Amino acid sequence: MPLFSVKNLTKRFGALTATNNITLDVGREGIMAIIGPNGAGKTTFFNLLTGFIKPDDGKIFYKGTDVTGQKPYRIIRHGISRSFQVVSIFEEMTVLDNVRVGVQRNLGLMNKLFLPYHKDRKTTDEAMAVLEHVGLGHMADLPADSIPHGDRKILDLCMALTSKPETLLLDEPMAGLSKAERIRITSVIKNLSLDHKIILVEHDMDLVFSVADVILVLHHGTVLAYDEPDKVSANEEVQSAYLGREVADA
Amino acid sequence: MRKIITDPLVLIIAVFAFYPALPYIGNFISLGSELLLWFIFTMSFNLCLGQTGLSSFGHGAFYGLGSYGAAITFLRLSGPGSFLVPILAGVLVGAASAALLGWFIKDKRGVYFAMMTVAFTQVCFGICWRWDEVTGGEAGLSGVSRSTFLGVNVSNPTTYYYVCFVVFIVCAFVIRAITRSCFGLSLQSVRQNYVRSQYLGYNVNLYKFGVYTISGAFAGMAGAMYCLLTQSAFADILDWSKSGDVVMATLLGGGTVSFYGPIVGSLIFIICKNLLSSLWDHWLFIYGMSFVIILCLFPTGLMGVMQKRKKKKA
């Protein structure tokens, strides 16, 4: 069964059709990357899958269940989770508390009116375990707004893991990172792909071609190609639309 | 033990335990009661603003409706001699009105949320100001009295002060426990980043509704006890300017960064209101100017300054 199955998916912003009648089954393999030139509709497609925006038309199924137009907090209950392109964390909390928010939700403790959150052993242990897993354990007590950008990116990713998702959607995990940080995140993502299905939007072609098992190429809101990396890079349409744009211009 | 002694809340309680013995202001016993009730009121407001980021700029509505709820219950239902029933009625009216408003505006944010709450207060004010048969209209409701409660004579101002004192202690610890609880952390997540909160599985709107209702209950209780303090209910406490006072006091004290902010802020506001005003008619000029200057220099209010100094020392 495909992970996501979309039927006639359409999203318009005024006169611009960002997602144009896409019908596709995606995400059987480990890591799927969504690429395309600027304005191709990658982010829109990504946001539709994660319920951030509602489609104008069409349906989205996750493992056979209709999730079209569901609110984010419902979508994640199906086992979907996402990270954000612009780091989206709780800036005024410590690193540990950031993760705690997710963990306590997952443990069903989020409505406890009189249980001091910092005293709950189970939440703390589980949150620490998540941080250790990605190598942020030593930063647990630091304010989240004080740690380096690369670590913030990883924290963002970490928070997405707290709901124990089966499928992880990553929105430009490499955006704004240095070379060294990129290498670090790449290994984190590879590691995560061992027990998660991953869908990512990314501009960094090195990452895409080194980790992706399958690539979805979007162009003008439609699917240009959906194939393995070497076949995608050999695809002439993809080359002219995207990879070989400079050549065509010259 | 050391933890208890250095607890600011314990310090506040210790000072207020001896309020009637304090020099000068100790003579104004009902001022002390008003202070304690204002603490409860502003703490309830700060559950919305400081904890959840809800700009409930019409919070006086729940205080005022709680006050009317208590007065009407006393005058029409429970009658002279009753004490607990009018207060409970105030809590209920506060919670119910906050729940009603909260349900309709739970998906609103920022200025829109703020404006809806202000509008709600004004509607309530209009009703109380005009509906002579029920609210007494412009004349308000009087004739509420305190007699005995659990064998204690609460008609005495000092005794009533201590009733307020006990209620304040309970409310302060309960509200503080809420801010430090798992639920409190959920609320904080809503304030700091509601999008992220949603993607961690939180139904953000439901949390806003929930905390609004809880906050309304506390505000209603403070209002009901205020009604018993003044033994009357008037529409002017529903005026939007009253809600503005709460916002100002909370921000001045530093409610956005500290649980104690509302207490510090109301302490300054109520004392200025009662003491400065007797010295000079235009006291609001001084209060307003200092508010502007302090918040321009220290946007996180007085508690924000304290916290920064503490951090520097550490």
The answer as to whether B275 is a domain residue is: no
Phi/psi of residue A21, nearest 5 degrees:
50, 50
pLDDT of residue B167: 93
Domain range holding B56? Answer: 2-240
Tokens 């990172």 locate to A177
Residue B31 has pLDDT above 60, yes or no: yes
Non-local CB neighbours of A135 within 8 Å, separated by 6+ positions: A154, A188
| Residue A250: pLDDT over 50 | no
* pLDDT computed for residue A242 by the predictor: 67
* Chain B residues near residue A163 by CB distance under 8 angstroms: 200-201
What would the mean pLDDT of B96-105 be, rounded to a whole number? 94
- Inside any domain, residue B146: yes
Average pLDDT score over residue span A16-40: 81
Residue B264 pLDDT more than 50? yes
State how far Cα B241 lies from the chain centre: 14
Residues of B in contact with A73 (CB under 8 A): 198-199, 201-204
pLDDT digit string (tens) for B201-219?
899 999 999 999 999 999 9
Q: Is residue B165 part of a domain?
A: yes
Average pLDDT of the residues in B155-174 = 91
The single residue listed with the structure tokens 């949390």 is: B207
Statement: residue B131 has pLDDT above 60:
yes
Tell me which of A4-8, B49-53, B279-283 is least confident.
B279-283
Q: Mean pLDDT, to the nearest integer, of A33-51? A: 85
Residue B302 is assigned to a structural domain of this protein: no
Residue B132's CB is within 10 A of a number of other CB atoms, namely 10
Chain segment A190-220, per-residue pLDDT in tens:
888 888 889 989 888 878 888 888 888 888 8
A and B: number of Cβ contacts within 8 A: 93
Q: Does B206 touch chain A if contact means CB atoms closer than 8 Å?
A: no
Mean pLDDT value of segment A225-231 = 83
Q: Is B119 inside any structural domain?
A: yes
B232, part of any domain: yes
Nearest to A113 among B178, B200, B201 (CB): B178
Q: Would the CB atoms of B201 and A77 count as touching at under 8 Å?
A: yes
- CB A104 to CB B197 under 8 A? no
Q: Which stretches of chain B are DSSP H helices?
A: 2-5, 8-17, 29-46, 60-72, 84-105, 110-130, 132-135, 157-179, 182-192, 194-199, 204-230, 240-253, 261-271, 277-279, 283-297, 301-313
ipTM rounded to 2 decimals: 0.87
Bridge partners (DSSP) of residue A32 are A199, A214
Distance from CA of A75 to the nearest CA of B (A): 8
Number of domains present in the structure of chain B:
1
Mean pLDDT of chain B: 87
Does residue B162 lie within any of the structural domains?
Answer: yes
Per-residue model confidence (pLDDT) at position A247: 44
Q: Establish how many alpha carbons lie within 13 A of residue B113's alpha carbon, considering only the half-sphere containing its beta carbon.
A: 20
Residue of A nearest to B257 (CA): A92
> Does residue B72 lie within any of the structural domains?
yes
Q: What is the mean pLDDT of residues A100-110?
A: 89
Beta bridge partners of A225: A217
Model confidence, pTM = 0.88
User: Residues of A with CB below 8 A from B193's CB?
Assistant: 88-91
